[in-house]
Amino acid sequence: MKSKLLTSATAAIALTAMASTVAAEPYADVVAFSALGPNSANDPTAALGRGDNNSVALGTGGVLIVEFTDNRLVNDTGLDLRIMERGGVADYNVQISMDNIDYINLGDVQKWKDFELTPYLVTPADQFRFVKITSLSTSGNGPEIDYVGARNSIDVPVPEPASLALLGLGSLALLRRR
């Protein structure tokens, strides 16, 4: 009995450790928060994934926070972060965060922008999950964000759904045997 329990526990741990082997795309994956301002347009999810010229206009004073779920933005050689803004000249502020609580202000910009993180005292060990974009426009549609890309990123393990399902079934079987 003890041997079976140990084998089941080992299998559960192994299943939990399984992760997707597909390399993560270096683009924001989910909208963590959005509060679009007046004159905004489109769904905030238009700013996710690979650029496709389908952007979200943040409007006057709008805020968009996107999250990297399967990779992290890091400081490495060259440019690290790209915000692709497709509209005309629109002012916006960009900040990054590891935990969606404490943010590092990268500054106010216009149009699309690439950021090098070294001047902001970001170390190569820092891993950022969140990018916050705030419209500074006082009229019009504000910045039109097509995508947020981590030009330098590292992949993080994401458990496969099938592995999680097997883990759940194994746990139920263990509980039932007791």
- For residue 132, give the CATH number of its domain: 2.60.120.260
pLDDT band at 69 (very low <50, low <70, confident <90, very high): very high
Beta carbons of 65 and 143 less than 8 angstroms apart: no
Look up residue 63 and give its two tokens.
Answer: 């805020």
Please report where in the chains the tokens 């997707």 appear, as a residue: 20
- Asked if 137 and 91 count as a contact pair (C-beta separation under 8 A), the reply is yes
Burial 23-56 (b: 16+ CB within 10 A, else e): ebbbbbbebbebebbebbebebebbbbebeeebb
Separation CA 44–CA 10 (nearest Å)? 42
Task: Tell me: do 82 and 14 sit in the same domain.
Answer: no
pLDDT at residue 38 is higher than 90: no
Same domain, 78 and 119: yes
Min mean pLDDT across 1-5, 29-33, 124-128, 141-145 is at 1-5
Stated pTM of the model:
0.78
Give the residue, 21 or 141, on which the prediction is more confident: 141
Q: Is the pLDDT of residue 47 over 90?
A: yes
Residue 170 sits in which domain range? Answer: 1-18+159-178
- Which helix (DSSP H) or strand (DSSP E) does residue 92 occupy? strand 91-97
Nearest to 139 by CA among 65, 83, 57: 57
Q: Are residues 2 and 80 in the same domain?
A: no
Contact criterion met (CB below 8 Å) for 47 and 132: no
120 in the same domain as 50: yes
166 and 84 belong to one structural domain:
no
Check if the beta carbon of residue 143 is closer than 8 Å to that of residue 89: no
pLDDT more than 70, % of the chain: 76
- What is the Cα–Cα distance from 114 to 170, expressed in whole angstroms? 47
What is the model's pLDDT at position 165?
A: 57
Q: Which residue has the tokens 């990018």?
A: 131
Residue 1 has pLDDT above 60, yes or no: no
Confidence of residue 13 (pLDDT cuts 50, 70, 90): very low
Tell me, yes or no, whether 88 and 109 share the same domain. Answer: yes
Which pLDDT tens digit goes with each residue over 85-115?
988 778 999 999 999 999 999 999 988 899 9
Q: What crossing angle do the helices spanning 161-177 and 2-17 adopt, rounded to 10°?
A: 160
Count of structural domains, the chain? 2
Q: What is the SS3 assignment for 31?
A: strand
- Same domain for 98 and 124, yes or no, is yes
- Do 140 and 170 fall into the same domain? no
- Give the percent of the chain with pLDDT over 90: 59
Q: How many residues does the chain have?
A: 178
Q: Kindly state whether residues 75 and 126 are assigned to the same domain.
A: yes
Specify whether the CB–CB gap between 158 and 30 falls below 8 A: no
Distance CA 90, CA 32 (A): 23
Highest mean pLDDT (candidates 1-5, 97-101, 158-162): 97-101
